Amino acid sequence: MLTNLYKFELLIFNIMRLDEDYVKKTGTIVILIVLMVLSFLIVKPLLLSIIMGLILAFLFSPIYDWFNKHTKSKNLSALIICILLLTLIIIPLWFLTPMIIDQSIRIYSSAQQIDFITPLKNFFPDFFASEQFSSEIGSTLYSFVNKITSSLMESFSKLILNFPTILLQLLVVFFVLFFVLRDKENLVKYIQSLLPFSKDIEKKLFKSSRDMTISVLYGQVLIGIIQGIIAGIGFFIFKVPNALLLTIFAAIAGIFPIIGTALVWVPVAIYLILAGNSLPALGVAIFGIISSLMENIIKPAFVSKRTNMNTSLVLIGMIGGIMLFGLLGLVLGPLILAYLLIILELYRKKGEPSVFVQENS
């Protein structure tokens, strides 16, 4: 009798202990979730600035390593990188911002007065024989160009109005850049300690992530900017109006795979032909073609023997990234898709051929 009573009390005690452990674990999880949500809400306004700092830290990591090798000081090396980068941003902005604003105003003013139909009628008289059709096409082109130029002016106005906020965001970017460069080894070890993967998978994950990031940042973004600059040299040499703004557009367009700088230099060349400037049009076209060919010359040097993502996915990532994150989405979109594909690649059947990720040899 006493033995049965003792067993019953022991059972009750174990149940209460289990309930207590369950309550503690549940309470811990709830507190953790609440803190994570609150932390996200705090970080959310600065999330893109933090990501930008991480991207810059990755890009400038080789230069930091070189300085650290010679200075033997992590703090000094990271500070030098921050000062150099800040100088590279401030000096061009100081000299180029007035020119960009001036050229934007010129383009906006010209768009209000430009005659689209007369040059088209001269080149395609049969196609634009109907006055009603010509009027509708002219109205559509005018609305399209006017919308683009108005958006451009609105963007510059927002930049000026939001300058204090932009300054604070830049401050966060450089703080993140400094601390990530200085403590990158410890940061990597900390991330590894949080990952729920085996050591072998961790190693493959970090290698694939590094290769894919290099492929996107260097192979697509950096080369795209170089292509835009080459096309821009043609704009300046042949004295194309608003050459600086067109160069910036060409550099942005160059980042997009498939599309490339042709999105800018082809319309410019057509405009010059319609205006009767055949020689400048030919010169712009030559520089444009050279800029397009540079991808096949320079890109292999950056992405050779590295994991590479399917071009169509890069384009989808960039377009979706712009819609979600703005201009920074050009980089974030492809990287987010890339990291998802890397994790999927680690678990899929290796016997099947890869569709979205290719190992360059």
Which tens digit of pLDDT belongs to each residue from 178-220?
A: 998 888 888 878 777 777 766 777 777 777 777 777 777 777 7
End-to-end Cα, the chain, rounded Å: 78
Q: Which run of H or E residues covers position 91?
A: helix 74-113
345 close to 357: Cβ distance less than 8 angstroms: yes
Largest CA distance in the chain: 112
Higher per-residue pLDDT: 184 or 275: 184
Angstrom distances, CA of residue 33 to CA of 19, 28, 30, 40, 42: 21, 9, 5, 10, 14
225 close to 358: Cβ distance less than 8 angstroms: no
CB proximity list for 233: less than 8 A, separation 6 or greater: 287
| Three-class DSSP category at 307 | strand
Phi, psi for residue 357 in degrees, rounded to 5? -125, 130
CA–CA dist 47, 55 (Å, integer): 12
CB-hemisphere CA count at 13 Å for 284?
29
- Break the chain into its structural domains and give their ranges: 48-181
The lowest-confidence range among 91-95, 159-163, 232-236 is 159-163
pLDDT band at 309 (very low <50, low <70, confident <90, very high): low
Q: Within its chain, how far is the Cα of 277 from the centroid?
A: 36
Phi, psi for residue 241 in degrees, rounded to 5? -60, 140
Whether the pLDDT of residue 338 is over 70: the answer is yes
256 close to 318: Cβ distance less than 8 angstroms: yes
| Tens-place pLDDT, residues 136-188 | 776 777 777 677 777 766 766 676 777 778 788 888 888 888 998 888 888 87
CA–CA dist 136, 124 (Å, integer): 16
Query: What token pair was written down for 346?
Result: 């680690």
pLDDT band at 263 (very low <50, low <70, confident <90, very high): confident
Whether the pLDDT of residue 112 is over 50: the answer is yes
Angstrom distances, CA of residue 104 to CA of 67, 151, 152, 155, 166: 40, 11, 7, 11, 21
Whether the pLDDT of residue 308 is over 70: the answer is no
Helix boundaries (H) for 183-222 = 184-194, 199-216
Question: Considering the chain, what is the average pLDDT of its residues?
Answer: 76
pLDDT band at 2 (very low <50, low <70, confident <90, very high): very low
